[in-house]
Chain A
């Protein structure tokens, strides 16, 4: 899952897709944690997943707000274009 997320992160140029792949990666990491916790039969894995969840939520909120601003400002969601343009 993580690899898939990494791949798509590198490939896609649309900003939204970038964010989505980030979510995928986070999720995959969380999955790994939960599996570990289940393996050792402790609650720790789930706790960490909870934190990851919180972080992802905050990040998505702020990130999407930023995306709106970028769109308004630059008029495009192309990551490469954003890199080249000067504000």
Chain B
């Protein structure tokens, strides 16, 4: 149990550090711990140094505590798997990389953690490597995040060459001194960093890897693709928020990407059959909310939503794991059903998490955090009614697909009989996370106050007709409407849903949203196939042929020269005579 214990220890350490930090906050509200200088070349001097402030403290607390619960769960979930030790090795490596990323003092060290989590994602998604589809999914994830990483590296390069440092705090300082808001460099750098964030957080246009990444074991999906890794992009943008403030174009782009992704993912989640894929699209959608918050400048709201989302999404995934385990690896929600009585703990915790996700008013954490974002989408200085509408529509969709899932899986007639029930190692984390999903919301005021030292608070610039209360009311209404429709289509009159889908236009939408709005198809046609075609025509590798050409040339010369060694005297005489004649000619004419 070393794997689990190590995470437990780090969780404990994080809590102790938090206590110390809260107890005696230093003047500049941050600790820096320098370990050693990594590189020292011509003025480029990144160090291995850790930087602890309020934001990174919040994040490492979430990562280690939720991670600890997930590891306990995984100890039972993966108990019969032959790659048990390998799994925990990868998971621990992941947590280490994530913490490096969060605590990094400079962007290069952050990049190290970034790459590390990308690697672990690849290893974990393709954990059951004997299945080729899993390997393909892992590769897809890696390649897409790589595209984002490349953009990010170019951004780092740009930042370094223009500002001379990669140390985050210095960087922010120099950027605000040297670059005017809206300057080309700031915008370019911000867009490039955004590219990296988009890849890692599975937003448009690099979002297609997340649904396929569900091929990995469920604890992995819970940890990486719900709570932690996909939020690395959010962290990056929040960390470099000064840069984004200097580049309004980029910031608006963040918001637009967030809004678009949350709607796209919401519609797609509505048509999925696989339980985990619904949750994957849901994650994509919720991170879209976080991006939306960042886009309008509601930094603290984004962090808050990150925390609550980590709680309830991890819980949802772990619950899904329990379900899938119980019904003999069946993933489709249409084949299982009526598990309410069979798996009571799973049912109640899943229900609580689902309500939190959809935003059940006042009792659940998700309501507070999501609502804060939607309100800020209206009222913040960069807010816009369009964002508010998108956020509300997303809330409706979230409610709809969440309850569709719950009604199909837990209610109705029994689909597949339950063969395995979870033990304590799996149920206790579920309960704990459910508790957090409820009370997490009440941490709103203290959390936001706490983050004030790092992230500027969002002022309400223009309320104009709405108040926070009325916004919350609208959200609550939408929640109920979504719940009703889900009830209607998926519990009461189940046939109705099938009729809708069978209808010709319904079928078009169903297909389209099912494949994630066709992005996979687009990418396949635009990138994958040309690439494969190019590599096929280059099978002879024309660059390589230069070198083989050299070898062949020397072979030809060898053959030619060896033909001159005939052993016949007269031939040699002739050769000598010819040589002499040639020599005379050269001397004469040159």
Taking Cβ atoms with an 8 Å cutoff, the residues of A that contact B are 6, 9-10, 13, 79-80, 82-84
Alpha-carbon gap, A10 to B571, bound state (A): 8
- Contacts A/B (CB < 8 Å), 19 sampled: A6-B577, A9-B573, A9-B577, A10-B570, A10-B573, A10-B574, A10-B577, A13-B570, A79-B569, A79-B570, A80-B568, A80-B569, A80-B570, A82-B569, A83-B567, A83-B568, A83-B569, A84-B567, A84-B568
Give chain A nearest CB distance to B115 CB in angstroms: 71
Alpha-carbon gap, A80 to B572, bound state (A): 11
Alpha-carbon gap, A82 to B577, bound state (A): 20
B residues near A82, Cβ cutoff 8 Å: 569
A residues near B573, Cβ cutoff 8 Å: 9-10
Give chain A nearest CB distance to B528 CB in angstroms: 66
A residues near B568, Cβ cutoff 8 Å: 80, 83-84
Q: A10-B570, A79-B569 are in contact. List 17 more A-B contacts (CB 8 A).
A: A6-B577, A9-B573, A9-B577, A10-B573, A10-B574, A10-B577, A13-B570, A79-B570, A80-B568, A80-B569, A80-B570, A82-B569, A83-B567, A83-B568, A83-B569, A84-B567, A84-B568
Alpha-carbon gap, A51 to B569, bound state (A): 28
Interface residues of B in 545-590 (CB under 8 A from A): 567-570, 573-574, 577
The chain A residue sitting closest to B571, CB to CB, is A83
Interface string of B104-138 (1 = CB under 8 A from A): 00000000000000000000000000000000000
Dominant secondary structure at the B interface: helix
Alpha-carbon gap, A6 to B577, bound state (A): 8
Alpha-carbon gap, A13 to B569, bound state (A): 10
Give chain A nearest CB distance to B60 CB in angstroms: 88
Give chain B nearest CB distance to A47 CB in angstroms: 25
Alpha-carbon gap, A83 to B574, bound state (A): 15
The chain B residue sitting closest to A7, CB to CB, is B577
Alpha-carbon gap, A13 to B577, bound state (A): 16
Alpha-carbon gap, A9 to B569, bound state (A): 11
Interface size class of B (residues with CB under 8 A): under 10
Dominant secondary structure at the A interface: helix
Alpha-carbon gap, A6 to B578, bound state (A): 10
Alpha-carbon gap, A82 to B574, bound state (A): 17
A-B pairs, 10 with minimum CB distance: A83-B569, A83-B568, A79-B569, A10-B574, A83-B567, A6-B577, A10-B573, A80-B568, A79-B570, A10-B570
Alpha-carbon gap, A10 to B572, bound state (A): 9
The chain A residue sitting closest to B574, CB to CB, is A10
Alpha-carbon gap, A83 to B571, bound state (A): 10
The chain A residue sitting closest to B567, CB to CB, is A83
Alpha-carbon gap, A9 to B574, bound state (A): 9
A residues near B570, Cβ cutoff 8 Å: 10, 13, 79-80
Give chain B nearest CB distance to A86 CB in angstroms: 10
B residues near A13, Cβ cutoff 8 Å: 570
A residues near B569, Cβ cutoff 8 Å: 79-80, 82-83
Alpha-carbon gap, A6 to B567, bound state (A): 20
Alpha-carbon gap, A82 to B568, bound state (A): 9
B residues near A79, Cβ cutoff 8 Å: 569-570
B residues near A10, Cβ cutoff 8 Å: 570, 573-574, 577
Give chain B nearest CB distance to A58 CB in angstroms: 21
Give chain A nearest CB distance to B238 CB in angstroms: 89
Alpha-carbon gap, A48 to B561, bound state (A): 39
Give chain B nearest CB distance to A85 CB in angstroms: 11
Interface residues of B in 377-405 (CB under 8 A from A): none
Alpha-carbon gap, A13 to B570, bound state (A): 8
Output the residue of A13, A82, A83 with the most chain B CB within 10 A: A83
Give chain B nearest CB distance to A41 CB in angstroms: 27
The chain A residue sitting closest to B580, CB to CB, is A6
Give chain A nearest CB distance to B126 CB in angstroms: 69
Give chain A nearest CB distance to B361 CB in angstroms: 109
B residues near A83, Cβ cutoff 8 Å: 567-569
Give chain B nearest CB distance to A36 CB in angstroms: 17
B residues near A9, Cβ cutoff 8 Å: 573, 577
The chain B residue sitting closest to A12, CB to CB, is B570
Alpha-carbon gap, A79 to B573, bound state (A): 11
A residues near B574, Cβ cutoff 8 Å: 10
The chain B residue sitting closest to A13, CB to CB, is B570
Alpha-carbon gap, A10 to B575, bound state (A): 10
Alpha-carbon gap, A61 to B214, bound state (A): 100
Alpha-carbon gap, A82 to B569, bound state (A): 8
Alpha-carbon gap, A70 to B401, bound state (A): 107
The chain B residue sitting closest to A11, CB to CB, is B570
B residues near A80, Cβ cutoff 8 Å: 568-570
Give chain A nearest CB distance to B444 CB in angstroms: 104
Output the residue of B569, B573, B574 with the most chain A CB within 10 A: B569
Alpha-carbon gap, A22 to B26, bound state (A): 106
Give chain A nearest CB distance to B585 CB in angstroms: 14
Give chain B nearest CB distance to A15 CB in angstroms: 10
Alpha-carbon gap, A80 to B574, bound state (A): 13
A residues near B567, Cβ cutoff 8 Å: 83-84
Give chain A nearest CB distance to B583 CB in angstroms: 14
